Amino acid sequence: MFKLKRASVIKSNMVEYSELRKQYGSEYIPYPVLLEASEWHEKRKEIIERDDDKCTCCSEQGTFPHYDGNKWVYVAVWSEFKKGWVESVDENGRYELLEYEEEMSCSNISNAPTILQVHHRYYIKGRLPWDYKSDALQTLYVDCH
């Protein structure tokens, strides 16, 4: 049995905003593309950690993907440490090598993910998704968003 801690990205195929700017030149960068930037993923991680890996609306706890050798399972995020790594590929094909921690009970394993998203409480025209004060952002379970 093992318990996973908050994941840390070790390796990823995310791209920095400066690379997106080079790719798009002076053209508009679609918002969903901006959400794939490493700067957004860092800000997102900061906000989810601040909110204790839980939805600020319903308190649902986020889960961490883990491949058990046969299938992907989703494990509640915990805070105890014993390092390991797991490869993760999400539904958008984004690859990440994640650091995790061991020591979790089987009762915390699910076949479906609890996806946490970071919600902007307001938007400012022309501002990049990660260029907001932290209090303008909140963690929400996908069903609450």
Tens-place pLDDT, residues 38-47? 999 899 989 9
Structural domain for 90, as ranges? 8-141
Flag whether 99 is in a domain: yes
Query: Which has more confidence, 60 or 18?
Result: 18
On whether the pTM is more than 0.75, the answer is no
- With pLDDT > 90 as the criterion, what percentage of the chain qualifies? 33
Question: CB under 8 Å to 9, separation ≥6 — which residues?
Answer: 41, 45, 96, 97, 98, 99
Domain count, the chain: 1
Flag whether 22 is in a domain: yes
Flag whether 25 is in a domain: yes
